[in-house]
Amino acid sequence: MAALVVAEHDNAAVKPATLNAVAAAKEIAGHEVDILVAGKDCRAVGEAAAQIAGVRKVLLADDAAYDHGLAENVAPLVVKLAASYTHLLAPATTSGKNLMPRVAALLDVMQISDISAVVSPDTFVRPIYAGNALQTVQSKDPIKVITVRGTAFPPGEATGGSAVIEPVASTGAAGLSAFLGAELSKSERPELTSARIIISGGRGMQSGDNFHLLEKVADKLGAAVGASRAAVDAGFVPNDYQVGQTGKIVAPELYIAVGISGAIQHLAGMKDSKVIVAINKDEEAPIFQIADYGLVGDLFKILPELADELERRQ
């Protein structure tokens, strides 16, 4: 048995979600876990990946064709490498979700999406119906193509390993697609999917400007700032803030939901958090049913008070 993990990166650094996928790969294949770094001028990523604890080998595919991770170009590379592996894994991020089904179809196998537990090398647990049910599935395919729900696997150590780096030849560009540009949000705060604490705002925030009230609390806690779909749809904040079934799935130590009623689609994205706090003026809001600590009241009074209280007791 051997597993290949497709690393998520930006040609400069390995994204943390890769470490969760490596953790899942180790549960399946033990010491026989390799990492594929496909990108452009991504040697530094390859070197960082070689440091990840327990990784046997890093396959480095450095070519302009792989610059932005276009699935049309990267999938044939993964397919070419697949012969040496029983399992191909990637984080269930937007890039993993984009790439891996294309790989699976080219290999004529069914993908196992978004696994949350490994039962055995051919049997996995995955959430369905937005996490309202858990399905245990067994794959009969010779190669298992898998995406990994990051929050379900504690990340492996980013250092301590000393894998060999092996260059692999490019499979070239398919000529079907081109990258035109990106508008990526820049933030000094931690990323939502790896933050220890998250504070999210919903429709109750009333405007994008009011999010500065959340940011003040976030700064005191070193927290990431998120939002419900309602807040994103209302235009308060950009789409990459969204926590929920169709946004990001998170499971921090502490999740503070502010002005969020608790629609099923939001709960699907955060209900595995260790501790949940809800702040809402409607005491009937469904969010309170799953919150460890609920505080009923006006968020415009509570948030400044919370920021002051945290400041005072730091």
What values do phi and psi take at 131, rounded to 5?
85, 5
Q: Which amino acid is at 121?
A: P
Which residue in 238, 243, 247 sits closest to 257, CA to CA?
A: 243
Among 48, 65, 82, 95, binds another protein (CB under 8 A): 95
User: Per CB under 8 A, which region of 28-36, 59-67, 68-76, 164-172 contacts another protein?
Assistant: 68-76
Instruction: Work out whether 275 is an interface residue with another protein (CB under 8 A).
Output: yes
Q: How far apart are CA 200 and CA 205, in angstroms?
A: 10
Among 41, 157, 292, 298, binds another protein (CB under 8 A): 292
Q: Quick check: 16 and 48 in contact, CB under 8 A?
A: no
Output 48 or 115, the one with its CB closest to another protein. 115
CB of 36 to another protein, least distance (A): 18
Q: Quick check: 116 and 125 in contact, CB under 8 A?
A: yes
In this structure, what token pair is assigned to residue 133?
A: 């049910």
Length of the chain: 314
Q: How far apart are CA 78 and CA 152, in angstroms?
A: 25
Query: How many residues of this chain bind another protein (CB under 8 A)?
Result: 90
User: Per CB under 8 A, which region of 48-56, 64-72, 156-164, 200-208 contacts another protein?
Assistant: 64-72
CB of 57 to another protein, least distance (A): 26
Q: Which amino acid is at 98?
A: N
- Binding pattern for the stretch 25-54 against another protein, x by CB under 8 A and - elsewhere: ------------------------------
Span 165-204, contacts to another protein by CB under 8 A: 174-185, 193, 197
Instruction: Work out whether 276 is an interface residue with another protein (CB under 8 A).
Output: yes
Among 40, 80, 97, 203, binds another protein (CB under 8 A): 97
Maximum distance among all Cα pairs of the chain, rounded to whole angstroms: 60
Span 200-229, contacts to another protein by CB under 8 A: 221, 229
Which residue in 201, 199, 114, 99 sits closest to 151, CA to CA?
A: 114
Output 166 or 309, the one with its CB closest to another protein. 309
Q: How far apart are CA 276 and CA 177, in angstroms?
A: 42
Span 110-149, contacts to another protein by CB under 8 A: 110-114, 123, 126-141
Instruction: Work out whether 71 is an interface residue with another protein (CB under 8 A).
Output: yes
